Amino acid sequence: MSAIPVSAQLDSSFVETFASTTRVNGGLRYRDNSATFSVGNQETLKLGNRGLALRLGGRYKWIGYTFSIPLSDLGTDSELGNAKSLGANIQFYRDKFYLNANLRRTIGFEREAVGEETIFRDDIRFFNALLFGFRILNSKTFSLRSSFKLRNRQLRSAGSLLVAGAIHRQILKADSLIIPLRNNGSTTIDRFSQTKVGVGLGYAHTFVFGKLFFATPLLVVGPEIRFIDYDPIASARELERFRVSPRIRGRLAVGVNGRRNYAALTGAYLPSADASEKLNTRVDEVQIELVLGHRIGIED
């Protein structure tokens, strides 16, 4: 059996690397998380949390740092209450692979239900843990971190197949939460959780325009196994049988990448829609980030 060939060293005619890694950067990050429980198109319960943050950071030799300052007064936070969010996001952009470990705990969501007034619930807590990564098969002429991390410069258009995998755990808790069920019913729960394991095949391609401008779309699709359970108040835990469904994950980066200065707008969309025996659930995460930066010690 022959192995799939994986490129090794970066081709300098396609990707420019820099001897000095010292840089400073800043920007804005917008995050929108939502969870929806529904039956058909009539009975819907939606929980939402969104936020905007100012990000300041940089890198000196092998040490990278980023500080995030919430900007809730710019209209992105809820007008009905104050949500709290604490998390850690670790990303490794290497020549041959990408790995993302994300942990986040959010307290406070807006609750929207059909025929009811939107209210803010500070008793709703959401925990999200994600380990996601992929192998870059063409790491010789394609650089993912040129577009999404701006560590290098993609000089000529190129792309690569991606082999991906993910493990995802989500837990929603509340003092009490009424969710719709099939057959015109409902139940009151205080906990809902789902665990998902998936694999996928994807493709990313960087289009280079002129010497500075670029656009990199990335798409990964594949099957995902999921396990769902929830705790009705005053009764035993309900377990849904495991299911397999297709999943899609998308990212996009556009910007300008010079030898000393760079700017990029990146976006990530991580949808998750599940149809179980008793209800439909959908958890979406949208993240958009603007990055402006300057490399120190690099000549034009």
Domain limits of the chain?
A: 20-295
The residue-averaged pLDDT of 184-198 equals 83
Model confidence band, residue 154 (pLDDT cutoffs 50, 70, 90): very high
The residue-averaged pLDDT of 167-184 equals 80
Residue 1 has pLDDT above 70, yes or no: no
According to DSSP, residue 73 is labeled G
Helices (H) and strands (E) in the chain, counts: 1, 14
pLDDT of residue 270: 79
pLDDT of residue 42: 47
pLDDT of residue 39: 57
Alpha-carbon distance of 253 to 233, in angstroms, equals 45
- What H or E segment, with its residue span, contains residue 100? strand 97-113
Alpha-carbon distance of 29 to 82, in angstroms, equals 18
Phi, psi of 63 (to 5 degrees): -100, 120
Cα dihedral across residues 193, 197, 198, 204: positive or negative = positive
> CATH for 20-295?
2.40.128
Tell me the pTM. Answer: 0.79
**Are the beta carbons of 134 and 164 closer than 8 angstroms?**
yes
Contacts of 172 (CB under 8 A, 6+ apart): 35, 47, 124, 125, 126, 127, 191, 192, 193
